[in-house]
Structure 1
Amino acid sequence: MLYYLFRFLDQFGIPGAHVWSYISFRSLMALVLSLIISAWFGEKFIKYLRRKQIAETQRDASIDPFGLQKVGVPSMGGVIIIVAILVPVLLLGRMRNIYIILMIVTTVWLGLLGGLDDYIKIFRHNKEGLRGKFKIVGQVGLGLIVGLVLYFSPDAVMRENVAIEKQQTEELVVKHRSQETKSLKTTIPFVKGHNLDYSRLMSFCGKYKTAAGWVLFVVMTILVVTAVSNGANLNDGMDGMCAGNSAIIGVALGILAYVSSHIEYAAYLNIMYIPGSQELVVFMCAFVGALIGFLWYNAYPAQIFMGDTGSLTIGGIIAVGAIIIHKELMLPILCGIFFVESLSVMMQVWYYKMGKRRGVKQRIFKRAPIHDTFRTEDRQLDADCRYLWRGPKSVVHESKITIRFWIVTIILAALTIITLKVR
């Protein structure tokens, strides 16, 4: 809203009004404002939850070998993150931008879905929360909306990057097509052949390959939204873990959104140019600021947990942001921590069920997701169960595990950006 106000005032020569048209100024303002809101509102919200005795009483405290009691810590801290994102974006973003609208819808949609799960856990005292099938329906519904909007919206366009080799110097010069078009192409990491075309994968459909390509794109959108939001949810098991990892991922996505919206940087990196995606930088700065402010209270020992209200929303924001800038195939690298957490759970469940058919109690890890394995002592294990891997031998403090996971995510984020030039 402030963007439109100051653009109007700029017509009358009001000093300083023109700076609101700069994406760098609005992005930094969003970062600072979201950080302040999350820090200020966070304190008020925690006091309110404690006064009302709204806390997740079902949390397992026995897993911490260092004796930190976590039962009774307020939950639903994702509300802090959502408020700290939406307020700066509504004030500083361009509300007519289709990408900003999609990100706001994603934030509210998954915030409500996660909030319903937390409500059932806290107020209904049901530790299972919202049934998994209903979560999946909500995630699939959001993925369907995002995919169809990107298909039908005339504003969701791009200009393809084309590499032309100079015969005299054998140098590659990247140019972008002059026309803005709808496209089914996405960036592939490590591949010099630039982009993957979904319609090309569906070439066996003949003259219907473009329509089939869009169907494949919508299905891919659904899979990415579901996978990343669930991955973030599984990663939210230690104080500061998910918030810190997601803030790092948000910085990387903000950088990718900025270079995708700048035609010269897009040509230098040989990636597609996406007009209007610069507004995602404002959103991602608000996202990062909100998470850093939330860490003030969520760092070890946590004063509040984000709950599914926060973790599902965070994962959805990351997924939809990557899809909008056609970088969804880079998420397995960028969100490598989320991927490993999800994989560890799937492997654990599969191995346990495989043994159950044979009447054998067996597991791969001490606990799943994988981060819980590093803080589990042997005395906490089931004596009747056979473990494929009993490492590590000594337990690691929760705060050290969290920081080490942050370091891994920083490396993965850097690697994700480097892949654009490694090609």
Structure 2
Amino acid sequence: MLYHLLIPLQDLCPVFNVFRYITFRAIYAAIFAMAIVLFLGPWFIEKMRRLKAGQTIRVEGPKTHLKKEGTPSMGGLLIIGAVTVSTLLWANLKNVYIWLVLWILVSFGCIGLIDDLKKIRLKDSRGLAGRWKLVFQILISLIFGMVLYKFDLLDTRLSVPFFKNLHPDLGVFYWPFIVLVITGASNAVNLTDGLDGLAIGPFIICAAVYGLFVYLAGHFELARYLLIPHVKGAGEISIFCGALVGAGLGFLWYNSYPAEIFMGDVGSLSLGGSLGAVAVIVKQELLLLIVGGIFVVEALSVMLQVAYFKTTGGKRIFRMAPIHHHFELKGWPEPKVIVRFWILAVILGLLGVSTLKLR
């Protein structure tokens, strides 16, 4: 909105020329989103407390988590609101990619909201049935792909990290691949969200790395120099990624151990889905396996645990899945698990950035 209001004034006052620059707007989108969360955080936490919108803890989980019962949840609403407002304020709203990523953020957030409301009202930690979550996620992801196709923005080729000339074309199989990336990222972040600040920390790192990649991919000369796919107009998504980083930092202020509020499924599903959508647009879907390695490992630990449990008649690989609970039950204090996972996320983020030159 500011972009459209102030750019025409650059002839009258040259200072408004700075709004032409994506880097300037991305930085201030981050600052603005963080300010919204920090300012509204105490009010929102108190509001959720009065509404008795507290977290329901799984009885089969670690016993140390039972004390978290009733901690205000659905903090994802605050994140979504801050990201949406900040993006609309600082981005070029004529860019179709902006509306696509906001579509994923808000629609996946709606799925999570339904899930959270069922948990809170019925006091049932299971929430919305998994099959219905998946159905809605698939439909939303397909609509996302259809819009890309309608605007002739759908590229079925993949960019493989560390390989400059390897671009396999999936053809019609790219459609289920879109669904896999977006729903997979959404559910992986959701599974990681089990400890105070555990999910939002690595997410901030992922959003920052992809903010860099979308900026580079949207710049023709830089994309050609770095041998990454050039996606015309994708640079504008840097504003969205900046807002994600800022809102995430603001939320971490209240979500760090011991957490005053949890993001809930409304937050984890929407943030993960939006990360997958950005990866698809910028043609760095496989990079998500590296940069989002924490989320990948968390999701794999659940799948392996379930598969092994069913095939061996009740035996387990881990003491509990997702894997962060395994380390808790081994005796690691919760803050140690969280910080060590953050450290690994930083390393993976740097590894992802290194693929710009190692190819």
TM range (shorter): over 0.9
The structure having more radius of gyration, on CA atoms, is 1
CA distance in 2, matches of 1:125, 1:3: 45
User: Is the CA contact (8 Å cut-off) linking 1:243 and 1:295 kept in structure 2?
Assistant: yes
Name whichever structure is richer in strand by fraction: 1
Partner in structure 2 of residue 122 of structure 1: 120
The correspondence for 2:190, drawn from 222, 229, 233, is 233
CA distance in 2, matches of 1:268, 1:64: 53
Partner in structure 1 of residue 109 of structure 2: 111
The correspondence for 2:230, drawn from 266, 273, 284, is 273
CA distance in 2, matches of 1:417, 1:14: 38
> How much is the aligned-residue C-alpha RMSD, in angstroms?
1.6
Pair 1:184 & 2:156 matched? yes
Partner in structure 2 of residue 139 of structure 1: 137
In structure 2, relative to structure 1, the CA distance for the partners of 1:297 and 1:191 (3 Å cut) is same
Name whichever structure is richer in helix by fraction: 2
Offset at 1:90? 0.8
Decide which moves more: 85-94 or 46-55.
46-55
CA distance in 2, matches of 1:42, 1:196: 45
User: Is the CA contact (8 Å cut-off) linking 2:79 and 2:267 kept in structure 1?
Assistant: yes
Output aligned runs, 1:191-340, within 5 Å.
Answer: 191-198=163-170, 213=171, 215-340=172-297
Letter in 1 for 2:34: L
Letter in 1 for 2:138: V
Spell out, residue by residue over 1:146-170, the C-alpha distance to the aligned partner (whole angstroms, 9 max, x if none).
211111214x3xxxxxxxxxxxxxx
Partner in structure 1 of residue 15 of structure 2: 16
Partner in structure 2 of residue 88 of structure 1: 86
User: Is the CA contact (8 Å cut-off) linking 2:164 and 2:228 kept in structure 1?
Assistant: no
Spell out, residue by residue over 1:368-423, the C-alpha distance to the aligned partner (whole angstroms, 9 max, x if none).
000001111xxxxxxxxxxxxxxx4xx11111111111111111111112123221
CA distance in 1, matches of 2:268, 2:354: 27
Pair 1:349 & 2:306 matched? yes
Specify the SS of the correspondent of 1:135. helix
Unaligned 5+ residue runs, structure 1? 157-181, 199-212, 377-391
Spell out, residue by residue over 1:24-50, the C-alpha distance to the aligned partner (whole angstroms, 9 max, x if none).
111111010000001111111001111
User: What percentage of residue pairs aligned between the two structures are identical?
Assistant: 42
Specify the SS of the correspondent of 2:184. helix
Offset at 1:10? 2.5
The correspondence for 2:324, drawn from 347, 368, 371, is 371
Letter in 1 for 2:179: I
Decide which moves more: 52-61 or 41-50.
52-61
CA distance in 2, matches of 1:139, 1:263: 33
Offset at 1:195? 2.3
Partner in structure 2 of residue 27 of structure 1: 26
Spell out, residue by residue over 1:215-265, the C-alpha distance to the aligned partner (whole angstroms, 9 max, x if none).
211111001111111100000000001000100000110011111111222
TM-score, normalised to structure 2, is 0.96
Runs of 4+ aligned residues of structure 1 deviating over 3 Å after TM superposition are 57-62
CA distance in 1, matches of 2:155, 2:57: 47
Spell out, residue by residue over 1:244-291, the C-alpha distance to the aligned partner (whole angstroms, 9 max, x if none).
010000011001111111122212211121111111100000000000
In structure 2, relative to structure 1, the CA distance for the partners of 1:314 and 1:223 (3 Å cut) is same
Offset at 1:62? 6.6
Specify the SS of the correspondent of 1:278. helix
CA distance in 2, matches of 1:61, 1:51: 27
In structure 2, relative to structure 1, the CA distance for the partners of 1:368 and 1:62 (3 Å cut) is closer
CA distance in 1, matches of 2:66, 2:129: 29
User: Is the CA contact (8 Å cut-off) linking 1:351 and 1:363 kept in structure 2?
Assistant: yes
Offset at 1:51? 1.8
User: Is the CA contact (8 Å cut-off) linking 1:56 and 1:122 kept in structure 2?
Assistant: yes
Specify the SS of the correspondent of 2:94. coil
Letter in 1 for 2:340: R
User: Is the CA contact (8 Å cut-off) linking 1:59 and 1:70 kept in structure 2?
Assistant: no
Offset at 1:83? 0.9
Letter in 1 for 2:347: I
Output aligned runs, 1:34-53, within 5 Å.
Answer: 34-53=33-52
Offset at 1:297? 0.5
User: Is the CA contact (8 Å cut-off) linking 1:114 and 1:307 kept in structure 2?
Assistant: yes
Partner in structure 1 of residue 76 of structure 2: 78
Specify the SS of the correspondent of 2:168. strand
How many residue pairs get aligned? The number is 359
Partner in structure 1 of residue 334 of structure 2: 398
Offset at 1:15? 4.5
Offset at 1:2? 1.1
User: Is the CA contact (8 Å cut-off) linking 2:215 and 2:234 kept in structure 1?
Assistant: yes
User: Is the CA contact (8 Å cut-off) linking 1:147 and 1:218 kept in structure 2?
Assistant: yes
Specify the SS of the correspondent of 1:238. coil
